[in-house]
Every structure is written in C-alpha cells, then in structure tokens.
Amino acid sequence: MFEVRFTTTTHAPPHRVSILTPLNEWENIEGSYADGTWTFSLDETELWTEPGYFKFILDERFWMDDPYIRIAPAPGDAYNFDETTVTFAMSTTAPTTATPAQASSPMPTPEPTPVVPGTPPPAVVVPPISEGAVINRVVILSTPFITAGAAWVAGVIARHVPGVKLDQTQVVSFMIAIVVVCLAGAWKWLQGWQQHELLVAQRLAAPIKAVISTVQTGPPA
C-alpha cells in the first residue's frame, strides 16, 4: 500500500476532494479527511501497477490546475501535497467585463450545474495525451555515430588482437556484420517506440513524459 496526501484547510469538509486517473477509467477515488489532511490509501498491486498520472478534483466539479501529477509508487511510499502545489480555479466560466449599464444593476447568480456522483462533470473534456520524451530522437541522432564507432572498433580488433589473423576481405566482412547488428538494433528500438507512442495515444500505456492539453472546465466562449 502507498498513500497520497493533500494537506488543506481551505478545502476541508463539507468540501470533498477526490482523485481521478485514467488507470481506472476516470472513476472517483475517495479519501478521508483528518487532522487537516485528505488521505488516499492506494494499492500498487491492483490499481497502480505501473507509473501513472492523476489529478485532484474538488466537489466532483473543479479540476486542479495543471499540470497532471505523475507517480511510480512502491510499497510504503507517501506522496505529500499542500495548497502551494495544488490549486483549484473555483470557476467554470471565464470572467467578463460588465458595461456601465450592467454594472448599475445586480447580476443574477447562475445556478450550479448538477453533477452525478461518481462521474466526471459533464463540461469536463478528458484531454488528449501524447508522449513527450525525446529518447527516440536521441536514438535516431546517435545511431550513425554509434554504428561508425562500432565498425571502427571491429576493424581495430580484427587487425590488432593477438591470435586473430584476418585478411582484408575478412576484416571488411566483420565490420559489415557489426554495422548490420547496430542498424538492426536501432530499427528494432524505433519500431518498439512507435508502438509505445500508439499505446499512449490510445490510453493503453503510461507516457514516460506526458504532454497533456489544458482541461476545459466550462463551455467554450
């Protein structure tokens, strides 16, 4: 088991703070409040079996401000947050500037949108997620240098290692074999990385570095 803790006095009961994550199809994870802290006890062997991300949501309506929080829990871990790291917009519409005529008359208070417990607010759109890690670019850029270096090392070994006697044709063949092995490994890596990016886009795998668009918490302007 591990714990996620959110220390707050502003959002104490009767407010409710929950956790939402794609690891359980965005179902609310409820916590308990005691001594000024919301505590969420989670099992890394059931829900959090791999690194994942989440957001706190207030009163099943207000999402915490960006960014998402990514954790890779281990048994006994405790992740502590407070109001300096977790904030809520506490608004579902963008502010507007009133005209002088509007300012002289009282503005009606809009009725809050009803929310069905256990489901994300109707106005909330789950943002698209993509992989932001640059490991694939590093592999692509370094492959030519690694391949050339491996071929050079193979040539040095073929010529200077005691007991190894190869003619020029055999040395070239050895170098070509090393180059083929390096290129095959790089190609296999890139194929696997493309499959990983596809799974991330389909929400079937957690990104190493998530790139997530801003969640819209209100109707478009």
Q: Could you tell me if residue 110 is inside a domain?
A: no
Clarify whether residues 87 and 160 are in a common domain: no
Clarify whether residues 120 and 33 are in a common domain: yes
Clarify whether residues 80 and 24 are in a common domain: yes
Clarify whether residues 38 and 120 are in a common domain: yes
Q: Span 107-132, mean pLDDT?
A: 55
* 213 band by pLDDT with thresholds 50, 70 and 90: low
For 8-63, list the strands marked E by DSSP. Answer: 17-20, 29-30, 32-34, 37-42, 52-58, 62-63
Are 132 and 207 in contact by the 8 Å Cβ rule? The answer is: yes
For residue 57, what are its two tokens? 């949501």
Clarify whether residues 62 and 137 are in a common domain: no
Question: Whole-number mean pLDDT of the chain?
Answer: 77
CA–CA separation, 23 and 210 (whole Å): 14
Clarify whether residues 120 and 146 are in a common domain: no
Domain extent at residue 160: 131-201
Sign (positive or negative) of CA dihedral 162, 168, 171, 175: positive
Predicted confidence (pLDDT) per residue in 24-33, tens digit: 888 889 999 9
Clarify whether residues 72 and 142 are in a common domain: no
Q: Span 19-43, mean pLDDT?
A: 91
* 13 band by pLDDT with thresholds 50, 70 and 90: very high
**Residue 26 zone, left/alpha/beta (φ > 0; ψ -120 to 50; rest):** left
Higher-confidence position of 109 and 66: 66
What CATH number should be reported for the domain holding residue 16? 2.60.40.10
Say how many CA atoms lie within 13 Å of 216 toward its Cβ.
Answer: 9
Clarify whether residues 81 and 159 are in a common domain: no
Q: Could you tell me if residue 7 is inside a domain?
A: yes
Q: Could you tell me if residue 102 is inside a domain?
A: no
Number of folded domains that form the chain? 2
Distance, C-alpha 217 to centroid of its chain: 20
* 203 band by pLDDT with thresholds 50, 70 and 90: low
Buried-exposed string 139-164: b where 16+ CB fall within 10 A, e elsewhere: eeeebeeebeebbeebbeebeeeeee
Clarify whether residues 30 and 120 are in a common domain: yes
Q: Could you tell me if residue 108 is inside a domain?
A: no
CA–CA separation, 52 and 79 (whole Å): 13
pLDDT at 4 over 80: yes
Cβ-based neighbours of 187, under 8 Å, separated by 6 or more: none
Q: Could you tell me if residue 101 is inside a domain?
A: no
> Whole-prediction pTM value?
0.43
Predicted confidence (pLDDT) per residue in 163-195, tens digit: 667 777 877 887 888 888 888 888 888 888 888
Last residue of a domain, one of 81, 108, 124: 124
Q: Could you tell me if residue 216 is inside a domain?
A: no
Q: Could you tell me if residue 189 is inside a domain?
A: yes
Which of 221, 212, 176 minimizes the C-alpha distance to 64?
212
